[in-house]
A and B are shown apart, each in its own frame.
Chain A
Amino acid sequence: MRLKFDEQLEKLNNELIQMGALCENAIAASAKALLEGDHTLASEVPALSAQIDQKERDIEGMCLKLLLQQQPVARDLRVISAALKMITDMERIGDQSEDIAEIITMANIGATDNVFCIHDMAMATIKMVTDSIDAFVKRDTALAEEVIHYDDVVDEYFDRVKGLLIELLRNPETDGEYALDLLMIAKYFERIGDHATNIAEWVIFSITGARKDEIT
């Protein structure tokens, strides 16, 4: 009985890793499309996002089945409920990567240079997502806490991008749409960073049972 349960938990774990890898891919593809102006890469993101949605539904079903059939307690219950919360954040990461890719294709943004720090911001966000998934995979609370603190870096980048774009808009010859699109992209990156933070918090919860406000 317990053996079967363990097997199902391992399967859940693997599915989560796969979903995390898909998220990493989605945001990496969006970022690369933004940095290199590669529109074919951007057009691959919606398919990834659809895969992520499918995974979310699969994992959700799996979790509910586990909760109903096995009635887990203590640590198992934490792991499963954390999984249920994490997939929501992962799904949002997928969606927002898709949104970024959409802006790139719709607004026809070419390869942007790094004047607006947007490269650095994209890289910082990717690092957060990768680290949060790594923290989950390796059950590494230290790394998870690092991700939570790293969110400030991404937030700071957002403020800087915003400031630079405001400067840009003061110039009457500026293409306002371009500036706003970049701002939207920056905002999406910032949101993705927040979701990565959430994932990291759930990782800590599933390991220690402590919620974020209890973490010093």
Chain B
Amino acid sequence: MTNRIFRSICLVATAVLLAALALIMTVLYGYFSDVQKEQLAAETRLAAQGVEQNGRAFFDNLNAGDTRITWIAADGEVLYDNKTDETAMENHAEREEIVEALDVGYGESTRYSTTLTRRQMYTAIRLTDGSVIRLSIAQNTFLTLTLGMLQPMALILLATVILALLLASRLSKRIVEPLNQLDLDDPLKNEGYDEIAPLLRRIDAQQKEIRAQRDELKQRRREFDAVTDGMHEGLVLLGARGNILSINRAAQSLLGADSDCVGKHIYVICRAPALQALISDASAGDRGDRVIAMAGREFSFSISPVPVHGEVVGMVLLIVDVTENVDAEKMRREFTANVSHELKTPLQTISGCAELLANGMVKAEDTPQFAGQIYKEAQRMTALIEDIIRLSHLDEGAEDMNRERLDLYTMAVSAVQSLQSEAESAHVQLSLSGESTMIYGIPQLVSVLINNLCDNAIKYNREGGSVAVSVRTEGDAAVLSVADTGIGIPGEDQDRIFERFYRVDKSRSKKVGGTGLGLSIVKHAAKLHGARISLRSTVGEGTTITVRFPAAN
């Protein structure tokens, strides 16, 4: 700014200076020439008078200075010259001013003197004797005049430059200062000079526009965040190079990152090789998904490229916790394998016995034993299938069963009664104690639950042992507990006994029978009633299973 103003001022000053100079010089030059010419003519007349009176003697003590005086005879022969040796000079009869002087008595001309080789002004006067006296003087040319003024001009120019510099810096400061002090947050409140008012108005308009757009963006962002933060699934939006554009709260906690990671590369927060493979696939335009294990849980990472005109401009990564699905899938597979196995074992016995009977290889007296075996195994299969049906019914949520108020104690009484004979044949003392407690539940399921618990307590007991069933109210819970003096459950198996077909002692299961589904049914039935099961067991001393139902109010 200062520079440009400085240059402009300098330019203007110099131009004005030069123009003025040119004008003055043109006017002055003509004036100077006229004065010089008149002076020369006067001097010539004086010289002419002198020569007329004194003849050649006039020249003897003449001090003419710069002026050249030449005396030329009528025939053009040079008689005297004060600057050059007259004898060497050529005939001057042809010179313009001489010709004129010879002709009319006075002549003048301005031309280059061949003798002195510069621009000379000549005036010549014819004397009475016909000879001519001529005076000449070097004429000031335009250039000599200008050169003479060079020094003062340079001084003036220097002064101009300094002045321009000062002015320019002051001027630009004056112009810029109000601009620098503008309050851009509130442009219209400024008191600058009028010329910047349109600028301020435009800034104001733009700021309003920017503010509106920013608010809208913020609003959009908030909406987007609100939607994605509410998701249980992790959602990460990635740019084309894999940099994080947006990451929702679930994804942040899954990947152990915070919101600072936005803008960084996804590898910075997760460098699992499977994810790297997914991302390199996605940047090539392929969608994909993989299950990655992290911190003991299984996550499904699904990635989709976002193509625009065939070019991948971003990726969407969805992270879903599939631990339960994976576990459920595993359980289903195991269940199927177990069911097939459990069904196959009695079938094999049945088919073996039946084959022997059919081939007549069994003695008549052994036939009832074989038939009994077939009957027993068929009963076991029926029990197993019934349990499976019950379980799958429970898996569906047992929605067709009606809930009603029931007395847990009454249910326990009927269960204990029905199992009394079984207990006696196993030499186990089965007893019931407690009080009437009301719960809200499905009678069939509660009865199966109590039955299964008591049945297990009798089966896995020792000879002469006891099973104590008690029903009581504890606060707002109806508590059923079944304590036995049986073999107990080792600590490492306690978590697993409620799994389907899980047996603590695989070899014993054959002897005591059972389907391996009893406790699993108990677990499901309790879950449907909102009851909690707790288990306390010591190997060799016995097991106590306690079920806490929410009491009916």
- Which residue of B is nearest A20, CB measured? B271
B residues 204-250 with Cβ under 8 Å of A? 241-243
A138 lies within 8 A of chain B by Cβ: yes
Measured in the bound complex, the distance between the Cα atoms of B273 and A21 in whole Å is 7
- Give the residue of A10, A22, A133 whose beta carbon is less than 8 angstroms from that of B241: A10
Q: Which residues of chain B (232-284) have a CB below 8 Å from chain A?
A: 241-243, 265, 267-268, 271-273, 276
Using A14-B242, A133-B271 as known contacts, say yes or no to A21 and B276 having CB atoms under 8 A apart: yes
Flag whether A13 is at the interface (Cβ < 8 A).
yes
Sample of 14 A–B contacts (CB below 8 Å):
A10-B243, A14-B242, A14-B267, A17-B267, A17-B268, A18-B271, A21-B267, A21-B271, A21-B273, A24-B271, A25-B273, A133-B271, A137-B268, A138-B268
A contacts with B, residue count (CB < 8 A):
14
Main SS of the interface on chain B?
mixed
Q: Is the CB of B271 within 8 A of A137?
A: yes
Measured CA separation A13–B243 after assembly (Å): 12
- Report whether A17 and B271 are in contact in the complex, using a CB–CB cutoff of 8 Å: yes
Q: Which of A7, A14, A133 has the most CB of B within 10 A?
A: A14
- Please give me the 3 A-B residue pairs with the lowest Cβ-Cβ distance, nearest first: A21-B271, A17-B267, A17-B271
Query: Contact residue range for chain B?
Result: 10 to 19
A/B pair count, beta carbons within 8 Å = 29
Q: Which residues of B are at the interface with A, using a C-beta cutoff of 8 A?
A: 241-243, 265, 267-268, 271-273, 276
Closest to B243 in A: A10
Known: A14-B265, A18-B276, A21-B271. 7 other contacts (CB 8 A): A10-B243, A13-B265, A14-B242, A17-B268, A18-B271, A21-B273, A25-B273
- Within A1-57, the residues touching B (CB, 8 Å) are 7, 10, 13-14, 17-18, 20-22, 24-25
The answer to whether B276 touches A10 (Cβ under 8 A) is no
Docked pose: A14 CA to B275 CA in angstroms: 13
Indicate if the CB atoms of A137 and B267 lie closer than 8 Å.
yes
Q: Residues of B contacting A22 with CB < 8 Å?
A: 273
Closest to B266 in A: A14
A14 contacts which chain B residues (CB < 8 A)? 242, 265, 267
| A21 cross-chain contacts in B, Cβ below 8 A | 267, 271-273, 276
The interface residues of chain A lying within 8 Å CB-to-CB of B271 are: 17-18, 20-21, 24, 133, 137
Among residues of A, the one whose C-beta sits closest to the C-beta of B267 is A17
B241 touches A18 (CB 8 A): no
Contacts of B241 in A (CB 8 A): 7, 10
In the complex, chain B residues whose CB is within 8 Å of the CB of A137: 267-268, 271
Distance (Å) between the CB of A22 and the closest chain B CB? 7
Residues of A within 8 A of B272 (CB): 21
For A51, give the chain B residue with the smallest CB separation.
Answer: B273
Bound Cα distance from A70 to B267, whole angstroms: 25
| B265 close to A10 (CB less than 8 A) | yes
| Chain B residue with the shortest CB-CB distance to A15 | B267
A7 vs B272: C-alpha distance in the bound complex, in angstroms? 23
Q: Are A18 and B265 in contact (CB under 8 A)?
A: no
CB proximity to B under 8 Å, residues A127-183 = 133, 137-138
Min CB–CB distance B268 → chain A (angstroms): 5
Least CB distance, A1 to chain B, in whole angstroms: 18
Bound complex: CA of A14 vs CA of B239, how far in Å? Answer: 14
Q: In this complex, what residue of B is CB-closest to A18?
A: B276
Chain B residues contacting A133 (CB-CB under 8 Å) are: 271
Complex Cα–Cα for A138 and B243 (A): 15
Question: B537: shortest Cβ distance to chain A, in Å?
Answer: 29
User: CA–CA, A22 to B274, complex, Å?
Assistant: 11
Residue of A nearest to B265 (CB): A14
Compute how far the CA of A78 lies from the CA of B273 in the bound complex, rounded to whole angstroms.
Answer: 28
